[in-house]
Structure 1
Amino acid sequence: MALLKARREWIFFGTLWKSHPRLTAMWWALILCQGVLPAGFVVAVGQLVGAVANGTPLLTPLLLMGVVFVLMQLLTPLHNQIGSLLGEHVSDRLHDRLLVAAGAPEGVAHLENREHMDELTAARDFDLGMTGPPLHMSMGFIAGGLVEVISGLAHAVVLAAYAWWAPLLVGGAWLSTHWLLRESTQWDRNTGEVLDAQRRAEYSYRLAVDSPAAKEIRLFGLASWLTDRFASERRTLVELRWHTTRLRQKPMRWAVAVLTISGGLFFWFLGRDAASGAIGLGEASTFAYAAVGASAIAFGGLNWALSLASDGVAAVLRVERTMSSGTAAHSVVSGQTPAEGMPAAEIRFRDVTFAYPGMSAPVLDGLDLTIPAGGSLAVVGVNGAGKSTLVKLLCRLYDPLSGTIEVDGTDLRDLDLGSWRRRITAIFQDFIRYELSLRDNVAPSEATSDDVLQALTTAGAADLRDLDKILSPGYENGTDLSGGQWQRVALARVLYSVSRGAGVVVLDEPTAQLDVRGEAEVFDRVLEATRGCTTVLISHRFSTVRRADRICVVDQGRVVELGSHDELMALGGTYKRLFELQATRFNEEQDGADRAR
């Protein structure tokens, strides 16, 4: 019983019942009715043939045939509709569970870990038609297979009226053929190779149909290239399906042999008895049709659509289990100590080492850094030095592999996570542009209009006043913003959080899409608005960096220089070299602009 319950098909049917018992009961009842009716039609045909042969009244067999025929026509569309509704309901419920499961872990490691990404891909895409039909369509194919096998069994039962051994001989032969046919084809669609191909094909498709990449695709003439790429990757996915499907010649030969022997024996006996008069013409007709109808056993049952749907449902349930009880869910665990008023003295990184899941080389390697409370610290370094990783750890999106981050001497992991995150606010380099109203982009919770407008004004976006305007051209009366405007909106989100009590401000490339003048203006406003907060700034623009109280240079996961702008320039190390290199480029660009004028 335990092995049966562990099968993905059992899990799938159990999920149907748990999602909507009433619809599931109706779906199964109609499967049973549709499966039995063809056998009833065969019996009615045999009675009609017998009545014609014997010269008896035809009314009763004709009425029986008519009733069965009408029911067969009516139940099919009804069953399709119920199956479609059931599939949509189950799909919606599973997506709800997936949404809750993926959002449950407090960190982000589960969304960037390769093993978890494969599971998430399979779970997320099970109903998108990438590897099979959506669930509301699959229900029809699944039901069709079950109706066929019940129909075959019902026809085999009819043969019992001829001889006790007939159902065993004919039904057993078709049942063994069903097993042999299933053995001849196997497809493992959850391998890393298949999931990679599926992910690549989906990405190419989204590039083609979503708007963010539209400008570059058209500007660089990439439409044909992208179409060819999607076709190639989709073809690869189909080829993998075929390559991992093994057609076994031996089971096919056995199937032909079994059917030839069993069918030959049955029809020899049936013909002999019909010729001798042991059975009438109507009975012979019924049993002959029933023997042929029993073939549905071989071709019905648990088919390919059930396999695809079961894989998708199982993937969602595995993700749910992983997120709730696996390592992903516990990669970031909340402590108990309240974080209100922290930091009052300092934030300190002590010998912190960290590597992302699946990476062998550490991004941070024994990093030591002290951030005094109430001041501003700029973090600079080449790409990949570990700057953004540092602030991810500070936000507790990840935890260090070794070492500690302390806030006023308390390990960050001992702080209540919700309490700490209320104390911290951030704008990340890849900040989100919500397709929501301007109000919800600044304050995705209850907020007064005055507070939102104040945050926008401080961020340099005073021209944006319509708080109910949807920031997406895809909606009626919606609009889009320039890159610089979007960045100001994201900054306003940070400033609103500061007005609500956040005391640690993380600015990861906060003005990357603004010109130099706009950057200076906005950053001065931000520094003024966050006075008294502990501010950590990451930027490649040294005109912004030099405004910070202290500057640290990160290289190969460690702090190699620390001090004020003047101190680091006097030191003559990495900071000075980077600063002078950027200043030289800026002067060259400025001279070129002057000459152009």
Structure 2
Amino acid sequence: MEVETAAPTSVGARRPMLQLFVALWRALPILAVAWWSLLIVGAVLPSVFAVLTGRVIGRISAPDGGQLAPALIALGVCFLLMQVLPHAESVVSMSLGSRLANWLNDRQMRASVAPAGLAHLEHPDLAAIRDVDRSMSGPPLYLAIYFVRGSLHRFLVGVVSALTLAVYSWWAALALVAIWTSTHWLLRESSVWKDRNTTEVDLTRQHANYAYALAMEPEFAKEVRLFGLSDWVVERFASWRLELYDAQYLATRLRERSVVGAAALVIVGNIVVFGLMGHGYLAGDWPLQDLISAVQLAVGVQWVAFGGLSWAADDAATAVQAVNQLEPLLGPAGHLSTGARTVPNRQIEVELREVSFSYPRSESPVYSGLNLRIPPGKSLAIVGANGVGKTSLAKLLCRFYDPTGGRILIDGIDLRDLDVESWRTRIAAVFQDFAHFERSLRDNVDPAGRCTDDEIRASLRDAGADHIIDLDTPMAKGYVGGTDLSGGQWQRVALARVLCGVRSGAQLVILDEPTANLDVSGEATMFSRLLAETKGTTTVLISHRFSTVRMADQIAVLVDGKVAEFGNHDQLIAADGHYRRMFDLQASRFTTEYNEDGEQYLVLE
């Protein structure tokens, strides 16, 4: 579905309420026109009804009875419309609110996935923007627009009533408008939810939401039950919710002095106005029919005080404003310049020259002058302590980020000069936190749709997963005939994804902890298969298991963001440095055995 995006530079400078009404128009113009039309007609009808009521009274009181039938028919039609129209307004309002929510979410998703890089997803404001229309701090947008419609309807009824009343008595209209609108000023700190998002409210809401997540989210379920925390979780949730209500009350409490003063002004003012209107009738200044209409219109003017842009409008406007701010916020942050050069269709050499890199909003550099060469068609293992930048190297090679200094060269070409999409078609990668797509097994192995079914089956066979399920089976239990897999089975599917990528032409393979969910024997067998299937492909392996690392052609040891040691397994053992110490520490807990293929693997003693 194509979605028009707002121009954030022009709209962002406008007031939030204007942004809301502009968004309603852009979300679905036809429905927005219907919404405003119904709103205006619905606001005019009460005044029309008041005028027609006076005319009916006038016809009845006329000596000859006048033309009573047309007046009664008109009054009946107006009354019928007043009963039916609010229901139509409600349906249109909720439909328009739902459309607005979909439109905002579409824009939000497009803004999030459009940049080629990942830096924008780490922006601290993004978490709050993600809550748009998730009922976290207000009603869903379809209800918010429904509430906005009710508030605007009441306000417009008051305005139209005042304008119509001015035809009968300008001073009465002016006086009542002054009386009722003064309440907006007198009770300006008493409006519901005004300034409700204080620091105390936000912090308490965060605690309450966390307690709710402990009870509802599957990731916490085991520990909550294992440690007997069920009663504690419920107690904390109830406690924090009560504190949230108290904090919201304190942020929106009524000022009793203002309420009393406003009530006194309204009561006294209305008594005076209605008293003068009655006096005018008794004095013969007004006919009865005008008095009947004027009294109804005077009552309608009160809605000037009880209508307007409610707290729901503020919530809806905040959602629109957040998404309007999202596009300029995320676009530059995740933008990667791209060249037009394509990747040569051959074995590639990867070289890092004086590469420096820091994550956005991080003060600690990951690399500072990293130099590394990966020969074409060879496998290179990256080892080092946690936090030295092993996974960061994989992200840079996939060009999810650009280095802050230095260059990454692909066959001597700066990676930034290559077309991003073209480069990524030449990469087959599996990450430690790889995605589980809720699609068929076929789509999980070949998400890009570049392989035939025979190639997909061959990849599954080489990964030891061809016996799991049929290719058309949905990989989620929520679908008809769907299923889920164990961690080890999913790991094999992810590895099959890499092998499928190699079969479709990938020239760089990146394996970030590729066999973390397999046992040591299964890992040794699997990685030997991977090396065999990716032979001739430049391969980068990141693993903490030295039984796997030792199979690589070359090994690079990272220390403090630089390559401290480089060589094959035997050379690094002989060098008796960082690698030897790490290997001995891990190998001391294992003994060497052989699998059914005669291959060595380590077994924990």
**TM-score in terms of structure 2 length:** 0.87
Match of 1:106 in 2: 116
- Residue aligned with 2:88, SS: helix
Q: What one-letter code is carried by the residue in structure 1 that aligns with 2:397? A: L
Q: Structure 1, residues 416-475: CA drift from partner, whole Å, max 9, x if none?
A: 111211121211111111111100000124332111100101111121240001111111
Match of 2:552 in 1: 548
Q: How does 1:45-64 map to 2 (within 5 A)?
A: 45-47=53-55, 57=65, 63-64=73-74
Q: How does 1:481-500 map to 2 (within 5 A)?
A: 481-500=485-504
> Does 1:79 find its partner at 2:89?
yes
Q: CA deviation at 1:56?
A: 7.8
Q: CA deviation at 1:500?
A: 0.9
> Does 1:522 find its partner at 2:532?
no
- Change in Cα spacing, 1:273 to 1:442, as seen in structure 2 (3 Å) is same
Q: What one-letter code is carried by the residue in structure 2 that aligns with 1:142? A: V
Q: CA deviation at 1:203?
A: 6.3
Match of 1:35 in 2: 43
Aligned with 1:448 (options 441, 449, 452)? 452
Kindly indicate which of the two structures has a greater share of residues assigned to helix. 1
The answer on whether the counterparts of 1:350 and 1:403 sit within 8 Å (CA) in structure 2 is yes
The answer on whether the counterparts of 2:460 and 2:466 sit within 8 Å (CA) in structure 1 is yes
Q: What one-letter code is carried by the residue in structure 2 that aligns with 1:149? A: F
1:380 & 1:437 partners in 2: Cα distance? Answer: 35
Name the % identity.
46
The answer on whether the counterparts of 2:147 and 2:312 sit within 8 Å (CA) in structure 1 is yes
> Does 1:283 find its partner at 2:290?
yes
Aligned with 1:573 (options 560, 577, 600)? 577
The answer on whether the counterparts of 1:378 and 1:545 sit within 8 Å (CA) in structure 2 is yes
Q: CA deviation at 1:297?
A: 0.8
Aligned with 1:150 (options 146, 150, 156)? 156
Q: CA deviation at 1:166?
A: 2.3
The runs of 5 or more residues in structure 2 that have no matched partner are 1-9, 593-600
- Change in Cα spacing, 1:30 to 1:231, as seen in structure 2 (3 Å) is same
Q: How does 1:319-468 map to 2 (within 5 A)?
A: 319-324=326-331, 327-330=332-335, 332-341=336-345, 344=348, 346-446=349-449, 447-468=451-472
Q: What one-letter code is carried by the residue in structure 1 that aligns with 2:99? A: H
Q: CA deviation at 1:284?
A: 3.2
The answer on whether the counterparts of 2:547 and 2:602 sit within 8 Å (CA) in structure 1 is no
Q: CA deviation at 1:529?
A: 0.6
Between 448-457 and 95-104, report the one with greater CA deviation.
95-104
Q: How does 1:209-358 map to 2 (within 5 A)?
A: 209-211=216-218, 213-228=220-235, 241-242=248-249, 244-245=251-252, 255-256=262-263, 259=266, 262-324=269-331, 327-330=332-335, 332-341=336-345, 344=348, 346-358=349-361
2:12 & 2:184 partners in 1: Cα distance? Answer: 19
Q: Structure 1, residues 252-282: CA drift from partner, whole Å, max 9, x if none?
A: 5774575456435423422321332322444
- Change in Cα spacing, 1:217 to 1:183, as seen in structure 2 (3 Å) is closer
Aligned with 1:502 (options 493, 506, 511)? 506
Work out the number of aligned pairs and report it: 584
Q: CA deviation at 1:180?
A: 4.8
Q: CA deviation at 1:571?
A: 2.2
Q: What one-letter code is carried by the residue in structure 1 that aligns with 2:91? A: Q
- Residue aligned with 1:314, SS: helix
What is the alpha-carbon root mean square deviation over aligned residues?
A: 3.2
1:507 & 1:593 partners in 2: Cα distance? Answer: 24
Aligned with 2:562 (options 541, 558, 561)? 558
- Change in Cα spacing, 1:370 to 1:184, as seen in structure 2 (3 Å) is same
2:50 & 2:188 partners in 1: Cα distance? Answer: 28
Between 275-284 and 459-468, report the one with greater CA deviation.
275-284
Q: What one-letter code is carried by the residue in structure 2 that aligns with 1:383? A: N
Q: CA deviation at 1:334?
A: 1.2
- Change in Cα spacing, 1:458 to 1:357, as seen in structure 2 (3 Å) is same
- Change in Cα spacing, 1:452 to 1:132, as seen in structure 2 (3 Å) is same
- Change in Cα spacing, 1:436 to 1:226, as seen in structure 2 (3 Å) is farther
Match of 2:3 in 1: none
The answer on whether the counterparts of 1:179 and 1:298 sit within 8 Å (CA) in structure 2 is no
> Does 1:125 find its partner at 2:128?
no
Q: Structure 1, residues 353-396: CA drift from partner, whole Å, max 9, x if none?
A: 22222221122233222222211111112221211111111111
Q: CA deviation at 1:92?
A: 1.7
**TM-score in terms of structure 1 length:** 0.88
The answer on whether the counterparts of 2:388 and 2:559 sit within 8 Å (CA) in structure 1 is yes
Match of 1:23 in 2: 31
Between 525-534 and 52-61, report the one with greater CA deviation.
52-61
Aligned with 2:105 (options 72, 95, 118)? 95
Between 446-455 and 189-198, report the one with greater CA deviation.
189-198
- Change in Cα spacing, 1:231 to 1:463, as seen in structure 2 (3 Å) is farther
- Change in Cα spacing, 1:322 to 1:152, as seen in structure 2 (3 Å) is same
1:356 & 1:200 partners in 2: Cα distance? Answer: 29
- Change in Cα spacing, 1:183 to 1:55, as seen in structure 2 (3 Å) is farther
1:270 & 1:383 partners in 2: Cα distance? Answer: 84
Q: CA deviation at 1:220?
A: 4.3
Q: What one-letter code is carried by the residue in structure 2 that aligns with 1:347? A: V
- Change in Cα spacing, 1:591 to 1:10, as seen in structure 2 (3 Å) is closer
Q: CA deviation at 1:168?
A: 2.0
2:358 & 2:199 partners in 1: Cα distance? Answer: 23
The answer on whether the counterparts of 2:12 and 2:325 sit within 8 Å (CA) in structure 1 is no
Between 171-180 and 533-542, report the one with greater CA deviation.
171-180
